[in-house]
Homo-oligomer: A and B are copies of this chain.
Amino acid sequence: MFESAELGHKIDKDTYDKEVPALRAALLDAQLDMANLAQFPVIILVGGVDGAGRGETVNLLNEWMDPRYLQTHGMGDPSDEELDRPMMWRFWRELPPKGRTGIFLGSWYTWPIINRVQGRTKTADLDQSLERARRLETMLVDEGALILKFWMHLSRDKQEKRLKTLEKDPKTRWRVTERDWEHFQRYDKFRVVSESVIRHTSTAEAPWTIVEGYDSNYRSLTVGKIILDAIRTRLAAADKKITEISAPPPLPSIDNLDIIKKLDLSQKIDKKTYQAELEKYQGKLALLTRSPKFKNITVIAMFEGNDAAGKGGAIRRITGALDARYYNVIPIAAPTEEERAQPYLWRFWRYIPRRGRVTIFDRSWYGRVLVERVEKFCSEANWMRAYSEINDFEAQLVRHNIVVVKFWLAISKDEQLKRFKAREAIAFKHFKITSDDWRNREKWDEYETAVCDMMDRTSTEIAPWTLVEANDKNFARIKILKTLCEQIETMLNKKGIVIKKM
């Protein structure tokens, strides 16, 4: 795989000096077109062998290109705020918005490779990381991103020679660290591991480009031209209509039986039991979230359900038991301008809390497969892929010791009508019914199909849905509190959750 990058590629100074000005002008031009169009971001990952000119190339690109539309991120050691969240959070927070370019020096491949080379992980772990990286990139590409991955390569001899040359010159000596020499000792292992990484993650939509790094003229011109070409091609394609995928239809409801219809919505509890249970579970929740071990986990609770199913009331019964400093309720409405310039899941990633905290979403990332699907705000291709993107997202949360609790509050069509009318009758603006609510109601069956589909595709072992029979508000609230307590308790009892130092 590295053969072409060990041929001794070289560009002489004259050719280089002749080509660079035109390339620079063309890059600036392409950046401006991208910025004006603001339709897609460019994500550039730069990895490779130490001494192969990763940093120099990135610095040069920054010289060539317009720094106003370009940002470089050196993904060094994570901050404490980053360590408190899933690994990918630090990349999500730095994703370039549409129209801009983000260069990542160090990427989601860096630590998986280093950990494998140093023997801290096994091949199976590496494979899992790569699978996750691949899925992330597929999602980004589906969201419109142009991803360019560069691997700067040097043969063993060339790497040694290069490190020695850098060390000899007082001007560049600072760039060679002990760590570089340590890495050099493991060159062969590093080569094997990175070859495998490149092989497994060179996908059609985001292939790696291996660039021989020894000659800086060759390296710089190659990288610059590829970037220019990729942006230009993409700009040209932007006018064309994207062919929609057409997925096989979801499970048809031929016997009129589904998980929603199966619910026993008549379940209720009397007021006295409710009061007792409420006190019991709120007390339990208070204790759980104040236990020292809670500092090591995170809770994300998420509410979906029919309109007027009682989400707000249920949320207040939870927050009533919590310390206000450690929770946050995020109502999901239409995305803001900054959110629209990013991939769909970005506006949820930004609210992932630090450890020791509870975040409650009032409506959620499931909007895409519910309202956006039914109201045709997005194409079938987009909501079909959302299922797996959401599963990936939740898997990342759970892997980071985040308790993900998902509630669907179900009420009957009759009960909804009763509540709508009651709300209209009291004319208390806080419970205003909008025309949207009535319109959604007309599509009851379509929503039900979407909900059943969603359950089938996203109620996973790691992040199961809890269906809540909510015709009786008291019954619903207790079920919710109880479920929440159980899931937090399970996570707290998980092996490996250690008490974090204060």
Contacts and interface: CB of A to CB of B under 8 A. Distances in A.
Interface string A54-70: 01001101110011111
Interface stretch (A222-230, A311-319, A400-408, A491-499): A311-319
A79 interface: yes
Interface in A76-94: 76, 79-81
Contact of A55 (B58, B71, B315, B323): B323
Contact of A67 (B59, B71, B316, B337): B316
Nearest to A33: B429
Scoring A29, A76, A320, A360 by chain B CB atoms within 10 A of each residue's CB, the highest score goes to A320
A235 to B, nearest CB: 13
Contacts of A8: none
Nearest to A77: B502
A29 B338 contact: no
Interface stretch (A112-120, A190-198, A247-255, A328-336): A328-336
Interface residues of A, number: 50
B324 A62 contact: yes
Contacts of A330: 68
- How many copies of this chain does one complex carry? 2
A300 to B, nearest CB: 15
A429 B29 contact: yes
A62 B326 contact: no
B325 A105 contact: yes
Contact of A80 (B80, B312, B320, B338): B80
Contacts of A62: 319-320, 324
**Most central of A68, A325, A362 by chain B CB within 10 Å:** A325
Contacts of A103: 324
Interface of A: 25, 28-29, 32, 55, 58-59, 61-63, 66-74, 76, 79-81, 103, 105, 174, 290, 312, 315-316, 319-320, 322-331, 336-338, 360, 362, 428-430
6 contacts: A62-B320, A63-B316, A67-B329, A71-B329, A72-B325, A105-B325
